[in-house]
Amino acid sequence: MILNHIWGLYAHPKDEWTEIDNRHENMMYGLSHILLVALIPAICGYYAAAHIGWSIGAGDPIKITEQSALLLAMSMYVAIIGGVFLLAYLIQWMAITFDSKPTFTQCIELAAYAATPVLMVGVAALYPVLWFVALAGCAAIAYSVYLLYSGIPIMMHIPEEKGFIYSSSVVTVGLVLLVCVLAGTAILWTNFGFIPEFR
């Protein structure tokens, strides 16, 4: 099954990373995983924005039209997949510095499985209260960082000391990538007329 590593990444991550590394799955397997898991935040975000409404503080929930919510959900889905591919490319590009020669498939697996907690926490959008979603997001990011730190030495076949520095570099690049996606979203909203319609 495509999603068979998810439970292992939560229950026993190091053993699961070893199993992922030993299997040497093909590109379609890792791609199928990210294509399915990326649907969670997109669908939940759409439903929360169009049908439930976001509570930012006191006052009525803020809703947008279904058409705007659909456009945002599709944009989020494409951005997530593009972000995972770019992160995988950067993981492979940085590998040379750390005496590792991973295949792009290994890098996709690492990026996709490490991002899984952040994507699965998209379910929290079904209770669209800002503080709740922010707390859930912080917990998911922390676990994703842990997965990176535990997975890089195994997947890249390097000692843990090098793995720590490599992981720190990947986390830094990932945060810069996140800021670029957020800045790109703001630019699209303000300069290209993608401002959502509120109702």
* Average pLDDT estimate for 102-106: 91
**Residues in contact with 153: Cβ distance below 8 Å, sequence separation at least 6, in sequence order:** 159, 160, 162, 163
Q: How confident is the model at residue 62 (pLDDT cuts 50, 70, 90)?
A: confident
Residue 53 has pLDDT above 90, yes or no: no
Helix, strand, coil % over all residues of the chain, rounded to 5: 80, 5, 20
How far is it, in rounded angstroms, from Cα 75 to Cα 73?
5
On the CB side of 128, CA atoms within 13 Å amount to: 20
How far is it, in rounded angstroms, from Cα 162 to Cα 131?
36
Least confident of 27-41, 59-73, 126-140, 171-185: 171-185
Tokens standing for residue 101:
């020669």
The pLDDT of residue 1 = 43
Render pLDDT for 14-40 as a digit per residue (tens, 0 to 9). 999 999 888 877 788 878 889 999 999
Residue 147 has pLDDT above 90, yes or no: yes
Mean model confidence pLDDT for the chain? 87
Beta-bridged to residue 198, according to DSSP, are 64
C-beta of residue 108 within 8 angstroms of C-beta of residue 89: no
Residue matched to tokens 């929360």: 48
Output the CA–CA distances (angstroms, integers) from residue 134 to 52, 72, 113, 139, 181, in the order listed. Answer: 17, 19, 21, 9, 18
* Average pLDDT estimate for 64-87: 89
How far is it, in rounded angstroms, from Cα 132 to Cα 123?
11
- Three-state SS annotation for 114-183: HHHHHHHHHHHHHCCEHHHHHHHHHHHHHHHHHHHHHHHHHHHCCCHHHHHHHHHHHHHHHHHHHHHHHH
The pLDDT of residue 181 = 75
C-beta of residue 112 within 8 angstroms of C-beta of residue 90: no
C-beta of residue 199 within 8 angstroms of C-beta of residue 64: yes
